[in-house]
Chains A and B, each alone.
Chain A
Amino acid sequence: MSVGQYRSLCQKYNGKAVEIRCHDGKIHRGIIQRVGRNRVYLQPLGRSRNLGGFGYGGYGYGGGWGFGWGVALGAIAGIALLSLFWI
Protein backbone atom coordinates (compact mmCIF):
# COMPACT_ATOMS: atom_id res chain seq x y z
CA MET A 1 0.00 0.00 0.00
CA SER A 2 1.08 3.57 -0.65
CA VAL A 3 1.71 6.29 1.94
CA GLY A 4 -1.63 7.83 0.95
CA GLN A 5 -3.46 4.55 1.50
CA TYR A 6 -1.85 4.08 4.92
CA ARG A 7 -2.74 7.67 5.77
CA SER A 8 -6.41 7.04 4.99
CA LEU A 9 -6.39 3.72 6.82
CA CYS A 10 -4.91 5.45 9.90
CA GLN A 11 -7.58 8.15 9.62
CA LYS A 12 -10.25 5.45 9.48
CA TYR A 13 -8.73 3.84 12.60
CA ASN A 14 -8.34 7.16 14.44
CA GLY A 15 -9.13 6.68 18.16
CA LYS A 16 -8.69 2.90 17.90
CA ALA A 17 -5.95 0.66 19.24
CA VAL A 18 -3.73 -0.76 16.52
CA GLU A 19 -0.61 -2.73 15.90
CA ILE A 20 1.63 -1.26 13.23
CA ARG A 21 4.31 -3.41 11.68
CA CYS A 22 7.16 -1.57 9.97
CA HIS A 23 9.41 -2.63 7.11
CA ASP A 24 12.38 -2.83 9.53
CA GLY A 25 10.51 -5.40 11.67
CA LYS A 26 9.57 -3.03 14.50
CA ILE A 27 6.11 -3.37 15.91
CA HIS A 28 4.24 -0.47 17.54
CA ARG A 29 1.11 -0.93 19.59
CA GLY A 30 -0.96 2.07 20.60
CA ILE A 31 -4.00 4.23 20.11
CA ILE A 32 -4.03 6.43 17.00
CA GLN A 33 -4.21 9.99 18.27
CA ARG A 34 -3.75 11.90 15.06
CA VAL A 35 -2.54 11.47 11.55
CA GLY A 36 -0.19 14.01 10.02
CA ARG A 37 0.98 14.33 6.41
CA ASN A 38 3.86 11.93 6.95
CA ARG A 39 3.39 10.41 10.38
CA VAL A 40 0.82 8.72 12.52
CA TYR A 41 0.97 9.57 16.24
CA LEU A 42 0.24 6.90 18.82
CA GLN A 43 -0.47 6.82 22.54
CA PRO A 44 1.42 3.74 23.76
CA LEU A 45 -0.68 1.17 25.58
CA GLY A 46 1.99 -0.07 27.95
CA ARG A 47 5.57 0.22 28.99
CA SER A 48 6.59 -3.28 28.12
CA ARG A 49 7.55 -4.69 24.76
CA ASN A 50 4.24 -6.52 24.51
CA LEU A 51 2.17 -3.41 24.75
CA GLY A 52 4.37 -1.24 22.60
CA GLY A 53 6.00 1.06 25.07
CA PHE A 54 9.38 1.73 26.62
CA GLY A 55 12.40 -0.50 26.90
CA TYR A 56 12.10 -1.23 23.27
CA GLY A 57 13.61 0.20 20.12
CA GLY A 58 10.36 1.49 18.75
CA TYR A 59 9.96 4.20 21.31
CA GLY A 60 10.99 7.63 20.20
CA TYR A 61 9.40 10.77 18.87
CA GLY A 62 7.51 12.81 21.35
CA GLY A 63 6.92 10.23 24.05
CA GLY A 64 5.96 12.00 27.24
CA TRP A 65 4.95 15.18 25.41
CA GLY A 66 1.37 14.16 25.38
CA PHE A 67 1.46 13.50 21.64
CA GLY A 68 2.43 9.86 21.78
CA TRP A 69 4.99 8.93 19.25
CA GLY A 70 5.10 9.28 15.54
CA VAL A 71 5.59 6.47 13.08
CA ALA A 72 6.54 7.46 9.53
CA LEU A 73 3.74 6.42 7.19
CA GLY A 74 6.39 5.42 4.64
CA ALA A 75 7.87 2.89 7.10
CA ILE A 76 4.61 1.00 7.58
CA ALA A 77 4.31 -2.54 6.26
CA GLY A 78 0.97 -3.39 7.84
CA ILE A 79 -1.70 -2.25 10.30
CA ALA A 80 -4.13 -4.37 12.31
CA LEU A 81 -6.79 -3.37 14.82
CA LEU A 82 -6.09 -4.73 18.30
CA SER A 83 -8.71 -6.78 20.04
CA LEU A 84 -8.44 -5.67 23.67
CA PHE A 85 -10.18 -7.31 26.56
CA TRP A 86 -11.76 -5.24 29.32
CA ILE A 87 -13.50 -6.14 32.52
Chain B
Amino acid sequence: MNYTYLDCLALFGVGGAHPGGLQLTKEIVSEEKINEQTALLEIGCGTGQTAAYLAQQFGSTVSAVDSNNIMVDKARQRFSSLDLPIDIKLGDTENLPFPDANFDIVLSESVLAFTNVFSTIPELKRVLKPNGILLAVETVLEQPIPNAERDNIVDFYRFPQLLTEDEWLAAFKKAGFQRIDSTKYQASLEQIDEQHASDFSLSEYIDDELLEILETHEEITKQNIDKLGFRVFRCS
Protein backbone atom coordinates (compact mmCIF):
# COMPACT_ATOMS: atom_id res chain seq x y z
CA MET B 1 0.00 0.00 0.00
CA ASN B 2 1.24 3.48 -0.80
CA TYR B 3 0.25 5.78 1.98
CA THR B 4 0.03 9.54 1.57
CA TYR B 5 1.04 12.22 4.05
CA LEU B 6 -2.65 12.71 4.87
CA ASP B 7 -3.11 8.94 5.47
CA CYS B 8 -0.20 9.21 7.84
CA LEU B 9 -1.84 12.06 9.77
CA ALA B 10 -5.06 10.04 9.91
CA LEU B 11 -3.48 6.79 11.14
CA PHE B 12 -1.35 8.58 13.72
CA GLY B 13 -4.47 10.59 14.53
CA VAL B 14 -2.54 13.82 14.82
CA GLY B 15 -4.55 16.53 16.55
CA GLY B 16 -3.58 20.07 15.60
CA ALA B 17 -1.82 18.93 12.42
CA HIS B 18 -1.22 22.36 10.93
CA PRO B 19 1.40 25.09 11.24
CA GLY B 20 1.20 26.71 14.65
CA GLY B 21 -0.96 23.97 16.15
CA LEU B 22 -3.63 24.78 18.73
CA GLN B 23 -1.68 27.79 19.98
CA LEU B 24 -2.03 29.58 16.64
CA THR B 25 -5.69 28.53 16.39
CA LYS B 26 -6.38 30.23 19.72
CA GLU B 27 -4.62 33.40 18.60
CA ILE B 28 -6.54 33.54 15.33
CA VAL B 29 -10.00 33.01 16.80
CA SER B 30 -9.35 35.39 19.71
CA GLU B 31 -9.37 38.23 17.14
CA GLU B 32 -12.94 37.39 16.09
CA LYS B 33 -16.28 38.06 17.72
CA ILE B 34 -17.45 34.57 18.55
CA ASN B 35 -20.27 33.68 20.93
CA GLU B 36 -23.12 31.19 21.45
CA GLN B 37 -24.89 32.57 18.40
CA THR B 38 -21.97 32.06 16.03
CA ALA B 39 -22.31 29.28 13.47
CA LEU B 40 -18.83 27.88 12.78
CA LEU B 41 -17.63 25.33 10.27
CA GLU B 42 -14.25 23.69 10.41
CA ILE B 43 -13.25 22.02 7.16
CA GLY B 44 -10.64 19.25 7.23
CA CYS B 45 -11.22 18.96 10.96
CA GLY B 46 -8.95 15.95 11.35
CA THR B 47 -9.33 14.47 14.83
CA GLY B 48 -11.32 17.52 15.89
CA GLN B 49 -8.95 19.30 18.28
CA THR B 50 -9.89 22.76 17.00
CA ALA B 51 -13.62 22.07 16.69
CA ALA B 52 -13.67 20.76 20.27
CA TYR B 53 -11.81 23.86 21.47
CA LEU B 54 -14.27 26.18 19.70
CA ALA B 55 -17.30 24.42 21.14
CA GLN B 56 -15.84 24.38 24.66
CA GLN B 57 -14.46 27.91 24.63
CA PHE B 58 -17.33 29.79 23.01
CA GLY B 59 -20.35 27.49 23.22
CA SER B 60 -20.91 28.17 19.52
CA THR B 61 -22.74 25.93 17.09
CA VAL B 62 -19.86 24.02 15.55
CA SER B 63 -19.95 21.85 12.44
CA ALA B 64 -16.96 19.89 11.22
CA VAL B 65 -16.21 18.02 8.05
CA ASP B 66 -13.34 15.85 6.88
CA SER B 67 -12.89 13.76 3.76
CA ASN B 68 -11.02 10.97 5.56
CA ASN B 69 -13.22 8.43 7.35
CA ILE B 70 -10.51 7.51 9.88
CA MET B 71 -10.27 11.17 10.87
CA VAL B 72 -14.05 11.46 11.10
CA ASP B 73 -14.21 8.40 13.40
CA LYS B 74 -11.48 9.79 15.64
CA ALA B 75 -13.08 13.23 15.76
CA ARG B 76 -16.45 11.66 16.60
CA GLN B 77 -14.83 9.75 19.47
CA ARG B 78 -13.25 12.94 20.77
CA PHE B 79 -16.54 14.86 20.65
CA SER B 80 -18.50 12.07 22.27
CA SER B 81 -15.93 11.59 25.05
CA LEU B 82 -16.11 15.33 25.78
CA ASP B 83 -19.90 15.29 25.38
CA LEU B 84 -19.81 18.07 22.78
CA PRO B 85 -22.76 18.54 20.41
CA ILE B 86 -20.65 19.01 17.27
CA ASP B 87 -22.17 18.13 13.94
CA ILE B 88 -19.45 16.02 12.26
CA LYS B 89 -19.75 14.81 8.70
CA LEU B 90 -17.71 12.87 6.21
CA GLY B 91 -17.56 15.12 3.20
CA ASP B 92 -15.68 16.70 0.39
CA THR B 93 -14.53 20.31 0.74
CA GLU B 94 -15.22 20.86 -2.95
CA ASN B 95 -18.84 19.81 -2.48
CA LEU B 96 -19.85 20.52 1.11
CA PRO B 97 -22.92 18.85 2.64
CA PHE B 98 -24.33 22.18 3.86
CA PRO B 99 -26.83 24.69 2.48
CA ASP B 100 -25.93 28.13 1.11
CA ALA B 101 -25.27 31.05 3.49
CA ASN B 102 -25.16 28.82 6.55
CA PHE B 103 -22.07 29.89 8.52
CA ASP B 104 -20.66 33.03 10.11
CA ILE B 105 -17.12 31.68 10.11
CA VAL B 106 -15.38 28.92 8.18
CA LEU B 107 -12.01 27.78 9.44
CA SER B 108 -9.45 25.94 7.32
CA GLU B 109 -6.21 24.96 8.99
CA SER B 110 -3.85 23.78 6.29
CA VAL B 111 -6.66 22.19 4.33
CA LEU B 112 -7.16 24.28 1.19
CA ALA B 113 -3.63 23.60 -0.03
CA PHE B 114 -4.48 19.88 -0.18
CA THR B 115 -7.56 20.50 -2.32
CA ASN B 116 -8.21 22.11 -5.65
CA VAL B 117 -8.45 25.67 -4.31
CA PHE B 118 -10.25 26.90 -7.41
CA SER B 119 -13.23 24.67 -6.53
CA THR B 120 -12.90 24.74 -2.75
CA ILE B 121 -12.68 28.48 -2.13
CA PRO B 122 -15.91 29.27 -4.09
CA GLU B 123 -17.57 26.39 -2.22
CA LEU B 124 -16.59 27.95 1.12
CA LYS B 125 -17.92 31.29 -0.10
CA ARG B 126 -21.20 29.53 -0.93
CA VAL B 127 -21.74 28.15 2.59
CA LEU B 128 -20.72 31.44 4.26
CA LYS B 129 -23.32 34.06 5.06
CA PRO B 130 -22.92 37.23 2.96
CA ASN B 131 -20.93 38.92 5.74
CA GLY B 132 -19.20 35.69 6.78
CA ILE B 133 -15.49 35.26 7.35
CA LEU B 134 -13.06 32.66 6.07
CA LEU B 135 -10.02 32.06 8.27
CA ALA B 136 -7.33 29.96 6.64
CA VAL B 137 -3.82 28.90 7.69
CA GLU B 138 -2.07 27.83 4.53
CA THR B 139 1.29 27.01 2.97
CA VAL B 140 2.72 29.52 0.50
CA LEU B 141 5.64 29.32 -1.87
CA GLU B 142 7.96 32.11 -0.71
CA GLN B 143 10.37 32.18 -3.64
CA PRO B 144 10.77 30.61 -7.06
CA ILE B 145 12.21 27.09 -6.92
CA PRO B 146 13.51 24.69 -9.54
CA ASN B 147 10.83 22.45 -11.01
CA ALA B 148 12.40 19.30 -9.59
CA GLU B 149 12.22 20.67 -6.05
CA ARG B 150 8.71 21.88 -6.57
CA ASP B 151 7.66 18.48 -7.93
CA ASN B 152 9.22 16.81 -4.93
CA ILE B 153 7.10 18.88 -2.53
CA VAL B 154 3.91 18.72 -4.56
CA ASP B 155 4.20 14.95 -5.12
CA PHE B 156 4.92 14.17 -1.49
CA TYR B 157 2.04 16.19 -0.03
CA ARG B 158 -0.15 15.58 -3.12
CA PHE B 159 -0.79 19.29 -3.35
CA PRO B 160 -2.95 19.97 -6.43
CA GLN B 161 -1.17 23.36 -6.58
CA LEU B 162 1.50 25.25 -4.66
CA LEU B 163 0.64 28.94 -4.62
CA THR B 164 2.54 32.10 -3.85
CA GLU B 165 0.95 34.64 -1.53
CA ASP B 166 -0.22 36.70 -4.51
CA GLU B 167 -1.76 33.65 -6.15
CA TRP B 168 -3.64 32.85 -2.94
CA LEU B 169 -4.92 36.45 -2.74
CA ALA B 170 -6.07 36.27 -6.37
CA ALA B 171 -7.90 32.99 -5.72
CA PHE B 172 -9.76 34.47 -2.73
CA LYS B 173 -10.64 37.61 -4.69
CA LYS B 174 -11.88 35.59 -7.64
CA ALA B 175 -14.26 33.69 -5.35
CA GLY B 176 -15.84 36.99 -4.31
CA PHE B 177 -14.05 37.85 -1.07
CA GLN B 178 -13.55 41.59 -0.95
CA ARG B 179 -11.22 42.17 1.92
CA ILE B 180 -8.29 39.83 2.46
CA ASP B 181 -5.73 40.24 5.20
CA SER B 182 -2.61 38.12 5.09
CA THR B 183 -0.36 37.62 8.13
CA LYS B 184 2.91 35.76 8.03
CA TYR B 185 3.25 32.93 10.51
CA GLN B 186 6.77 32.29 11.69
CA ALA B 187 7.24 28.82 13.14
CA SER B 188 8.73 29.05 16.59
CA LEU B 189 10.87 26.52 18.39
CA GLU B 190 9.62 27.49 21.80
CA GLN B 191 9.14 24.73 24.32
CA ILE B 192 5.58 23.53 24.06
CA ASP B 193 3.27 22.71 26.99
CA GLU B 194 1.01 19.67 27.17
CA GLN B 195 -2.09 21.73 26.55
CA HIS B 196 -0.80 22.85 23.15
CA ALA B 197 1.24 19.85 22.02
CA SER B 198 -0.19 17.77 19.17
CA ASP B 199 -2.28 14.99 20.60
CA PHE B 200 -2.31 11.61 18.90
CA SER B 201 -5.07 9.06 18.67
CA LEU B 202 -3.17 6.20 17.12
CA SER B 203 -4.77 3.56 14.96
CA GLU B 204 -4.15 0.03 16.18
CA TYR B 205 -1.66 -0.85 13.47
CA ILE B 206 1.02 1.57 12.37
CA ASP B 207 2.80 0.36 9.24
CA ASP B 208 6.57 1.01 9.05
CA GLU B 209 5.94 2.83 5.78
CA LEU B 210 4.20 5.56 7.80
CA LEU B 211 7.39 6.12 9.77
CA GLU B 212 9.20 6.75 6.50
CA ILE B 213 6.56 9.29 5.55
CA LEU B 214 7.10 11.15 8.82
CA GLU B 215 10.82 11.22 8.13
CA THR B 216 10.36 12.48 4.59
CA HIS B 217 8.00 15.17 5.87
CA GLU B 218 10.61 16.28 8.39
CA GLU B 219 13.33 16.33 5.70
CA ILE B 220 11.22 18.30 3.24
CA THR B 221 10.20 20.91 5.79
CA LYS B 222 13.82 21.33 6.91
CA GLN B 223 15.23 21.49 3.38
CA ASN B 224 12.66 24.06 2.29
CA ILE B 225 12.56 26.20 5.38
CA ASP B 226 13.09 29.40 3.32
CA LYS B 227 10.91 28.33 0.43
CA LEU B 228 7.76 27.13 2.15
CA GLY B 229 6.13 29.73 4.32
CA PHE B 230 2.79 30.01 6.07
CA ARG B 231 0.09 32.64 6.14
CA VAL B 232 -3.03 33.30 8.07
CA PHE B 233 -5.58 34.61 5.60
CA ARG B 234 -8.67 36.41 6.83
CA CYS B 235 -11.18 36.83 4.05
CA SER B 236 -14.49 38.63 4.23
Contacts and interface: CB of A to CB of B under 8 A. Distances in A.
A23 interface: no
Interface residues of B, number: 38
B87 interface: no
Nearest to B205: A66
Interface string B214-236: 11011001000000100000000
B198 A16 contact: yes
B17 interface: yes
* A contact patch SS: loop
B233 to A, nearest CB: 16
Contact of A17 (B113, B189, B197, B217): B197
A46 interface: yes
B154 to A, nearest CB: 12
Interface string B179-220: 000000001011111100111111011101001101101100
Interface residues of A, number: 26
B1 to A, nearest CB: 17
Contact of B215 (A33, A46, A64): A46
B120 interface: no
B157 interface: yes
11 contacts: A46-B212, A46-B215, A47-B211, A66-B206, A83-B189, A83-B191, A83-B192, A83-B197, A86-B9, A86-B21, A86-B198
